[in-house]
Structure 1
């Protein structure tokens, strides 16, 4: 079966004002004709404007999180339906910063993933171990357990991706070795195959964790790496496009 189409997704996190839309335009201009699908996930307040500005380009726009309910008394939260209504096509779920800072469990992430599917969004479900878990030799068990717990059966036959982001590598400048990345991605692929069968081969497994222009080519050409979830390097068009072109 053919390898999945690579996905390079930029997670702007809590960064970006209206002036930052110029970077998104530059990314869209530079990404035209790319071998990879390219997505930008800006703060919620920029999603609608970015969708309108990038209309007609190949760049997709996504959200960074979504509640598991479609509406209700959840002050400050945004639903998957709202993201879709604003024009988003994808959504990041279960990012380590959500799991750690907001104590999101696998069950919560699975419920959010179901809500994303119901709203017609393509979920990017994040998994990853802490440094303590890796040092203890539990990394594979932790991550494959998160995959099983965070991905609902509803994903069968649907478009989705899994992003492996070792928590200890995010924003630190540290990255696992290529062999460590390949080992984890192979374990995730095997778990997806167990859960969803042959159809899961279409789901790219992204790597996230201090991806930058200087290491992108080595990471993106490792076995079972189907793209990248990029943090800080996605805020500048020049850096992000260098990663896109490394596919």
Structure 2
């Protein structure tokens, strides 16, 4: 189930202050304005800032194909939910994606698969595409990691309305590490996730991307095993981000040639 576009996601987490993030948005917008892959739609770039940074991100990227996501979403659509932001409001202002179930949300805020599933449902029923994060907490064999993450993905989508999703495979032990997980491991787990996604009804157009210390050269090395990458601090360097976008364009062109 390979989507036509290669997806590159960037989560800013809470690294940037407001002014710093706004400057970064402008630099990214300038860098991708004439980027062939972005302009053609062969590469899909998703920027996921903090809630306070969402509106300036939407304003900066309004004239470009760059899409904006949120780092979390409430399970409820409205009501007495102090401190929460609903998928309905995010969709209203122009957000397209909602990051759900990141390892930090699970470990720091106790989010279970059941909570993740309610948030995935909220995103889908309000027109947002969930970017569902899955990943084993300890360094398992590829077979065991595949079994664990497929189960996590299925639990996180249990009861959710039909719609495409992006599954971000982020082995927890590789997040923030000096190097990503070994390529063979990533390829086997992502291939297993793609196969499992293909068996789920109502998930046409879904994708699997890899995160966890992802950087240059990784996408090229993984080839058809993934539909893209989920970047963190590496993308703070806009030139480095463009290097990955160039890789994504080359991969998209190769896939397009293979289908021709």
Number of matched pairs: 241
Q: Is the alpha carbon distance of 1:18 and 1:84 closer, same or farther for their aligned partners in structure 2, counting shifts above 3 Å?
A: farther
Give how far 1:88 is off: 1.1
Out of 75, 96, 100, which is 1:93 matched to? 100
Could you tell me which of 164, 170, 173 is aligned with 1:168? 173
Task: Give 2:151's aligned residue.
Answer: 145
Q: 1:71-220 alignment to 2 at 5 Å?
A: 71-131=78-138, 134=140, 138-156=144-162, 158-196=163-201, 200=204, 202-213=205-216, 215-219=218-222
Deviating beyond 4 angstroms after TM superposition, the runs of 4 or more aligned structure 1 residues are none
Distance change (3 Å), C-alpha of 1:118 and 1:208: same
Tell me the equivalent position of 1:5: 5
Name the CA shift for 1:136/1:181 in 2 (closer, same or farther; >3 Å): closer
Partner of 1:23: 24
Any gaps of 5 or more consecutive residues in structure 1?
A: none
- Cα distance in 2, alignment partners of residues 194 and 2 from structure 1: 13
Residue of structure 2 in register with 1:64 after alignment: 71
- Compute the displacement of 1:213 (Å): 2.5
Q: Deviations over 1:170-194 (max 9, x none)?
A: 1112322211111101111121122
1:222-233 equivalent positions in 2, closer than 5 A: 223-233=224-234
Q: 3-state DSSP class of the match of 2:225?
A: coil
Matches within 5 A, 1:46-57: 46-57=53-64
Q: Tell me the equivalent position of 2:256.
A: none
Shift of 1:2: 6.0
TM-score norm. by structure 1 comes to 0.89
TM-score, normalised to structure 2, is 0.85
The alignment yields a C-alpha RMSD, in angstroms, of 2.1
Deviation at 1:82, TM superposition (A): 2.3
- Please give the alpha-carbon distance, in whole angstroms, between the structure 1 residues aligned to 2:48 and 2:134: 18
Q: Distance in 2 between matches of 1:119 and 1:48?
A: 18
SS in 2 for 1:196: coil
Q: 1:38-66 CA deviation, whole Å, 9 max, x = no partner?
A: 01000100101110121110101110000
Conservation of the 8 A alpha-carbon contact between 1:15 and 1:43: no
- Tell whether the 8 Å contact from 1:47 to 1:87 is kept in structure 2 after alignment: no
